[in-house]
Amino acid sequence: MGLLTIVTFLPLLGIIWILLQDKEKDDERVKRIALGTSIVTFIATIVVLALYDKSEAGLQLVDRVSWIPAWGIEYHMGVDGLSILHILLTSFISMLAIASSFPIIKQQVKQYYSFLLALEIGMMGVFLAQDLFLFYVFWEFTLVPMYFLIGIWGGKDRVYASIKFFLYTMAGSLLMLLAILYMGITNGTFSLPDLIAGRAAFASAQNLLFVGFAVAFAIKVPVFPFHSWLPDAHTQAPTAGSIILAGVLLKMGTYGFVRFNLPLFPEASAHYAPTIAVLAIIGIIYGAIVSFAQRDVKKLVAYSSISHLGFVMLGIFSLNAQGIQGGILQGINHGISTGALFFIVGIIYEQRHTREISEFGGVWMAMPVYSVLSLIVVLSSMGLPGLNGFVGEFTILLGSIGAASLGPNAWIYTAFATTGVILAAVYLLWMFQRVFMGPLDNPENKKLRDINKGELAIMLAFLLFVFWIGIAPSGYFALMDASVAELVKTVGSAVASLP
């Protein structure tokens, strides 16, 4: 049993331990077990990082055993430059999501933390699985705990939101399942490296197969116009659920594009790049405009994800090193910044039990520390240089303007995408002004307490990465450079062969 298997299934030990606790009596103990498990998992991913050789482009720390030999299905786990940051993000965000739930979740505590830990297993598996069938199992598995997290501990429309979330993402996955089965059965293997090596066998069908995968991933991201599940799920989920949804689950979609679509169907990727770039840019602009008019802070943050993920998609389908690395890093950045934004919204919601922007104003005077930290996160989300968001955004735009995949008019795509920079300032500052600035005239808001030590610790954990990635991102790029370079070589020649 290799390290990656241990990392993935560590939370299972926590779940078992939690389920062994006495019913309802030991809520505090359950919380400690959950947090402890997630911390150990986080440390385990750090160990993976320590053992990871960033100069190596291929899969590392591979666990590979036969699972269903008759179908050529294997249990195959491995880590490379495309996944290393994602598993770190997963364990980091899961840890903070669990910690952030302590004061919030008071009912069915055991089940709640069990589902959170189960979700972590699923997400980790998605980022590590190197067998298409295994990947699909983990992919679908993540739906189940999330479905219950939203449906049981969510807001007042939680049932509707959870069902919609489940249906929508599952329906999208079915085409992917078809594509996976087709490739697996025609090639006699579901192993991703083997399929990439033998991709000539299904090259003629690659446009269809590309679409099969792309729809599943596009719904997850979500790419415009497949975003309709997102505002429901994000707003109805409990704070921790929103943090994980935005922080990690959406990245499963963008990761899927990089992990599967690009190397398996390079010609199709080059072929569809302009189409996806257009959808991405519509998402950037549309998401920002729709965010602007929201009256509920949480919904505003939810829609902002559509805009941010548009940048990520644009970067990936630039199909060059800047774009793809920028895209992956911006996915991480979005996980940190938007995760932190949901956390911020959660803090104020727990005190006021409302998220209506018009209910607030002048919060800065009541909660100075909270407000300053929130401002930093807002600025990070806006892409202020020196903070994390800018690094990703700039490398993406740099990639897209020089993208051969977008043709000689790539600069037009980039010019439109860059308007997202203005719009981000428009909707985020408008929100910031109405919530934090202005007179403190609502008596309810005068009673607000500033953040406590626990909340501060979580915020500082987010902010550490906001500054670190903003000021010294080279180490992060170095982790993925070799793998992305390899990938760019593959898709690059496909782009060059375009008519």
Partner 1 sequence: MNAFALAPLVLGLPILGVLFNGFVGRRFVEADRSVGEKWSGWAASIMALSAFVIVVLLYFSLQANGHHAEIVPMMDWISIPSANFHIPWAMQIDTLSVTMMLVVTGVGSLIHIYAIGYMHGDPNFSRFFTYLNLFLFFMLILVSGNNYLMLFVGWEGVGLCSFLLIGFWFDRTNEKGEAMNANAARKAFVANRVGDLAMILAMSLTFWTFGTLNFEPVFDSAVEMFHSGAMVHFGAFSASLGGVLTAITALFLVGATGKSAQIPLLVWLPDAMAGPTPVSALIHAATMVTSGIYLIVRSNVLFEIVRESHALVLGVISSPDLVALVGALTAVYAGLIAFTQFDIKKVLAYSTVSQLGFMIAAVGMGAYVAGMFHLITHAFFKALLFMGSGSVIHGMEHGHHHISHGHGHDNHHDHFDPQDMRTMGGLRHHMPTTFWTYLVGSLALAGIVPLAGFWSKDEILAHASANSGGINTVVYILLTIAAFCTAFYMARQVKMVFFGEPRHKAAEHAHESPRTMTMPLVILAILAILGGLLNFPHFGAEAEAAHGAETAVVAAGEHAAEVESAGGLNLALEHWLEHSIASFHLTEEGVVEMPHTPTTLQIPVATISSVLAIAAIAIAYFLVYGSRPKTADERDPLQATPIWWMAVLPLNTLYMGYIVPAFNRLAEWAAHTLDWAFWHDFVHDNIIRNIFVGFANFASNVLDAQGVDGIVNGSGSVARWLANQIRRSQTGYARNYALSVFLGTVVLLAYFLFMAR
Which residue, 65 or 174, is less far from partner 1 as judged by CB? 174
Which residue, 98 or 285, is less far from partner 1 as judged by CB? 285
3-state secondary structure the chain: CCHHHHHHHHHHHHHHHHHCCCCCCCHHHHHHHHHHHHHHHHHHHHHHHHHCCCCCCCCEEEEEEEEEHHHCEEEEEEECCCCHHHHHHHHHHHHHHHHHHCCCCCCCHHHHHHHHHHHHHHHHHHHHECEHHHHHHHHHHCHHHHHHHHHHHCCCCHHHHHHHHHHHHHHHHHHHHHHHHHHHHHHCCCEHHHHHHCHHHHHHHHHHHHHHHHHHHHHHCCCCCCCCCHHHHHHHCCHHHHHHHHHHHHHHHHHHHHHHHHHHCHHHHHHHHHHHHHHHHHHHHHHHHHHHCCCEHHHHHHHHHHHHHHHHHHHHCCCCHHHHHHHHHHHHHHHHHHHHHHHHHHHHHHHHCCCEHHHCCCHHHHCHHHHHHHHHHHHHHHCCECEHHHHHHHHHHHHHHCCHHHCCCHHHHHHHHHHHHHHHHHHHHHHHHHHHCCCCCCHHHHCCCCCCHHHHHHHHHHHHHHHHHHHCCHHHHHHHHHHHHHHHHHHHHHHHCCC
Q: Compute the least distance from the CB of residue 481 to partner 1, in Å.
A: 5
Which residue, 204 or 474, is less far from partner 1 as judged by CB? 474
Q: Compute the least distance from the CB of residue 491 to partner 1, in Å.
A: 13
Q: Compute the least distance from the CB of residue 28 to partner 1, in Å.
A: 32
Closest by Cα among 280, 154, 157, 162 to 214? 280
Q: Are 482 and 56 in contact (CB under 8 A)?
A: yes
Q: Compute the least distance from the CB of residue 402 to partner 1, in Å.
A: 4
Which residue, 113 or 286, is less far from partner 1 as judged by CB? 286
Q: Compute the least distance from the CB of residue 405 to partner 1, in Å.
A: 8
Q: How far apart are CA 140 and CA 118, in angstroms?
A: 12
- Residue 222, φ and ψ in degrees, nearest 5: -95, 145
Stretch that binds partner 1, among 4-12, 68-76, 292-300, 456-464 (CB under 8 A): 292-300
Q: Compute the least distance from the CB of residue 12 to partner 1, in Å.
A: 25
Asked if residue 204 binds partner 1 (CB under 8 A), the reply is: no
The residue to which tokens 């083997």 are assigned = 194
Which of 66, 228, 275, 497 lies at the binding interface for partner 1 (CB under 8 A)?
A: 228
Which of 100, 235, 325, 388 lies at the binding interface for partner 1 (CB under 8 A)?
A: 325
Which residue, 50 or 422, is less far from partner 1 as judged by CB? 422
Which residue, 113 or 390, is less far from partner 1 as judged by CB? 390
Asked if residue 443 binds partner 1 (CB under 8 A), the reply is: no
Asked if residue 153 binds partner 1 (CB under 8 A), the reply is: no
Which of 98, 379, 459, 463 lies at the binding interface for partner 1 (CB under 8 A)?
A: 379
Q: Compute the least distance from the CB of residue 54 to partner 1, in Å.
A: 10
Residues 183-202 interacting with partner 1 (rule: CB under 8 A): 185
- Burial (CB < 10 A; 0-12, 13-18, 19+), residue 53, is exposed
Asked if residue 39 binds partner 1 (CB under 8 A), the reply is: no
Q: Compute the least distance from the CB of residue 21 to partner 1, in Å.
A: 28
Which of 403, 459, 463, 491 lies at the binding interface for partner 1 (CB under 8 A)?
A: 403
Which of 72, 231, 266, 389 lies at the binding interface for partner 1 (CB under 8 A)?
A: 231
Residues 412-441 interacting with partner 1 (rule: CB under 8 A): 414-415, 418-419, 421-422, 425-426, 429-430, 433, 437-440
Torsion, Cα 175 177 179 181, to 10 degrees, reads: -150
Residues 15-34 interacting with partner 1 (rule: CB under 8 A): none
Which residue, 128 or 348, is less far from partner 1 as judged by CB? 348
Residues 270-289 interacting with partner 1 (rule: CB under 8 A): 286, 289
Residues 293-312 interacting with partner 1 (rule: CB under 8 A): 293-294, 303
Which of 407, 444, 464, 493 lies at the binding interface for partner 1 (CB under 8 A)?
A: 407
Stretch that binds partner 1, among 13-21, 35-43, 352-360, 377-385 (CB under 8 A): 377-385
Torsion, Cα 387 392 396 397, to 10 degrees, reads: 0
Which residue, 36 or 368, is less far from partner 1 as judged by CB? 368
Which residue, 155 or 402, is less far from partner 1 as judged by CB? 402
Which residue, 39 or 440, is less far from partner 1 as judged by CB? 440
Q: Compute the least distance from the CB of residue 276 to partner 1, in Å.
A: 17
Which residue, 306 or 458, is less far from partner 1 as judged by CB? 306
Stretch that binds partner 1, among 69-77, 90-98, 237-245, 318-326 (CB under 8 A): 318-326
